[in-house]
Amino acid sequence: MAAAIALSAGTPAMGAEAQRESAGTLADGTRIEAVTLTSKAGVSARILSYGATLQSLIGPDRSGKLADVLLGYDDLAGYVDRPNYFGPTIGRYANRIAKARFTLDGKTYNLPANDHGQSLHGGDKGFDKVAWRVVSATSGPIAKLVLAYRSADGEAGYPGNLDVTVTYAMDDAGGLTITFEAQTDKPTVVNMTNHAIFNLAGEGAPQGALQHRLTIPATAYTPVDTTLIPTGELKQVAGTVFDFRAGRTVADGIRDGRDPQIVAGRGYDHNFALDKGLTATPQLAARLEDPASGRVLDVMTTEPGVQFYTGNFLDGTLMGKSGHLYRMGDGIALEPQKFPDAPNQPAFVSARIDPGKPYRHVMVYKLTVAR
Which residues are designated catalytic? Answer: 195, 335
In contact, 69 and 295? CB cutoff 8 Å: yes
Strand 197-198 with 193-194, pairing:
unpaired
User: Please, is 258 exposed, middle or buried when counting C-beta atoms within 10 Å of its C-beta (0-12, 13-18, 19+)?
Assistant: exposed
Q: Which residues contact 120 (CB under 8 A, 6 or more apart)?
A: 95, 96, 114
3-state secondary structure of 79: helix
Cα separation, 51 vs 32, in Å, equals: 10
Torsion sign, CA atoms 311, 313, 319, 325? positive
Question: Which residues are CB-contacts of 260 (< 8 A; sequence separation ≥ 6)?
Answer: none
128 φ, ψ (degrees, to nearest 5): -75, -10
* Residues contacting 205, CB < 8 A, separation 6+: 199
Contact 30, 131 (CB under 8 A): yes
Query: What's the rounded Cα separation, in Å, for the pair 174 and 85?
Result: 23
Is 334 in contact with 306 (CB distance < 8 Å)? yes
